[in-house]
Structure 1
Amino acid sequence: MPQATRPTQLSPSRALDFQQCPLLYRFRAVDRLPEPPSKAQVQGTLVHSVLERLYEVEAGRRTPEEALALIEPEWAKLQAGEDVSELFSGLDDESSWLRGVRRLVETYFSMEDPTRLEPHRTECLVTTTLDDGTQLKGFIDRADVNGDGLVRLVDYKTGRRPPERYSEKPIFQMKFYALVWWRTRGTIPKLLRLMYLGDGRFLDYSPTQDELEGFEKGLKALWATMREAIATGQFRPQQSKLCGWCAHQKLCPEFGGEPPNYPLPTVLPGLEMPPT
């Protein structure tokens, strides 16, 4: 069982966890309870690895054939580092799943030509500390910078593009990256691009300085709320349609369960919180 930790940084995924359900955030970020990987999650990891490796070869060799040839070795590496044997019922099931991975990689080439791109960075770690001490951390799939210094941040998604009414979460993630990029490099990205390989569609967004300043204020307020929950151990469950995909229903009061004892020292609400 992983050892519990006191979170000191905010990432887009953990911020979205807390907004969805504070108790889910606690289970993932504080208790660090294990969650079995899903086929979709492993598929996303594999496709991301293939596309990252693709940009490590010279531009002229970034062909569909080269990318497809990377799938097997990257899959072998992933299997060596993570137990995914229970995901598949047999060789036919795994073969069918790998055909799906190949289709996603092929779709990528229908969306852009990697031989004409020279990314500034791939799988780029970005971190910053805001003026109130809030620490932000994230990984950007790809950062492109053109000759005029204009920045495009790109994120690959292996699902289908969501309807507009459900685009808030992916745009939140990209605004997070844009804010950290701006605060560390002094340049506001011109374009935030999500590439949905499930249907070959894009979701583009161009942030403004006013938007990012407002977003920054919101993150500061969110982290203050999260810090108080971490200090007091009070994480309320929040039921939604997403509960059906939660790995921790048996521990959730909304489903008749009981969370484990809070693993960190606590203080009473309103008192000075432990340092982060």
Structure 2
Amino acid sequence: MSSTSEAAGDAECGPVLPGPRAEAGRTGVGPTGVGRTEAADGVEAVGAAAAAGTAGAVAAAPEAAGAEAAAPDTADAEAAAPETAAPTPSLSPSRAADFMTCPLLYRFRVIDKLPEKPSPAATRGTVVHAVLERLFDAPAGERTPVRAKALVRPEWEKLLAKRPELVELFGADEGGADLARWLVGAEQLVDRYFTLEDPNRLEPAERELYVETVLDSGLKLRGYVDRLDVAPSGDLRVVDYKTGKAPSQRFESQPLFQMKFYALVLWRLRGLVPRRLQLVYLGSGDVVTYDPDESDLLAVERKLLALWQAISRATENGEWRPKPSRLCDWCDHRELCPEFGGTPPPYPLPVATGS
């Protein structure tokens, strides 16, 4: 999809859905692009992916690898479950990504609930997301780069008050130089946002919207949408901010899967397939768009059902196979992984025999 066709498509959606600025420097992925191919894979693809632990890191690729760094989804229902309870039949994009990336990683995070060290990149992403959410509190015309960057330090301080353990990120920073550089890096990401969109032309319908639906199978899907735009015609645009760099075309289908997940939930909730899915990569200054259809979202639904079946089998038989990849270099649980000579903690759930 060319930049011209993107602009034309947005014009049809109405004035509340302006297209990305010309400076975006990246064409969107159209219905014939890699995202469409991935969606058409269906159940067969996820069956193999779940068994092998496909490196489909929707939210797990470290920033050093050219994508946004990931952190455990603390909003997950599993996080509030008893330590010895099996995961409830529910999935978020991050937990689905964990299992596809490495089934053992899913076990460590969801069942064992092992602690993980805070990451500067993931924490910066949290702060930047908060800034972009708060930016729209100001009236149109007053949403400026100066105002947005002025929100960075207060949002960091608010986050630190909620999560005091984040002080470890800069514990050895005696003069505060590391923190200052980190804050400047966050400000640069916020500043770049204004080269990709004009927030004064936008009036988001929702920000940080929690969405949840239960499929006919009983599987609950849930997650947080960064921004939802609604055109006068009723068309929906789902927007997700990424503080890392846009992935290569080879891995472009991975973050698009996350967006299709949200689109599926919104379709089930509102009876309307979102007109556009938009990924805004602040790390590289790229905007990637995709226009889904019902066949896309039905394929995603089948994929998620097959994925949950694989998770359920692993929960019952206790076989959580590790999937080594370059992401292992950034995994907090490497020392417990059999691929690196480690031993996982005792499995806390009963194991079915004879299956």
Given candidates 37, 51, 67, the residue that maps to 2:132 is: 51
CA distance in 1, matches of 2:346, 2:333: 15
Q: Does 1:33 align with 2:118?
A: no
Structure 2 length normalisation: TM-score?
A: 0.74
CA offsets 1:11-37 (integer angstroms, 9 cap, x no match): 111111101110000001111111001
Amino acid at match of 2:302: K
CA distance in 2, matches of 1:132, 1:142: 28
Q: Which residue of 1 aligns with 2:260?
A: 175
CA distance in 1, matches of 2:95, 2:345: 20
CA offsets 1:216-255 (integer angstroms, 9 cap, x no match): 1111111111112122222111111111111001111000
CA distance in 2, matches of 1:201, 1:269: 51
CA distance in 2, matches of 1:269, 1:173: 36
CA distance in 2, matches of 1:48, 1:211: 28
Q: Which residue of 2 aligns with 1:273?
A: none
> Partner of 1:61: helix, strand, or coil?
coil
Q: Which residue of 1 aligns with 2:295?
A: 210
Q: How does 1:193-272 map to 2 (within 5 A)?
A: 193-268=278-353, 270=355
Q: Does 1:162 align with 2:242?
A: no
Structure 1 length normalisation: TM-score?
A: 0.94
Amino acid at match of 2:341: G
Q: Which residue of 2 aligns with 1:6?
A: 86
**Alignment gaps of 5+ in structure 2:** 1-79
CA distance in 2, matches of 1:200, 1:139: 23
- Could you tell me the percent identity over the aligned residues? 52
Contact 1:150 1:189 survives alignment (8 Å): yes
Q: Does 1:105 align with 2:186?
A: no
What's the offset of the Cα at 1:269?
6.0
Q: Which residue of 2 aligns with 1:78?
A: 159
**Alignment gaps of 5+ in structure 1:** 271-276
Distance 1:56 1:265, change over 3 A: farther
Contact 1:232 1:269 survives alignment (8 Å): no
Q: Does 1:188 align with 2:270?
A: no
> Partner of 2:141: helix, strand, or coil?
helix
Q: Which residue of 2 aligns with 1:146?
A: 231
Q: Which residue of 1 aligns with 2:52?
A: none
In angstroms, what is the RMSD of aligned CA positions?
A: 1.3
Aligned length: 269
CA distance in 2, matches of 1:142, 1:218: 25
Distance 1:237 1:57, change over 3 A: same
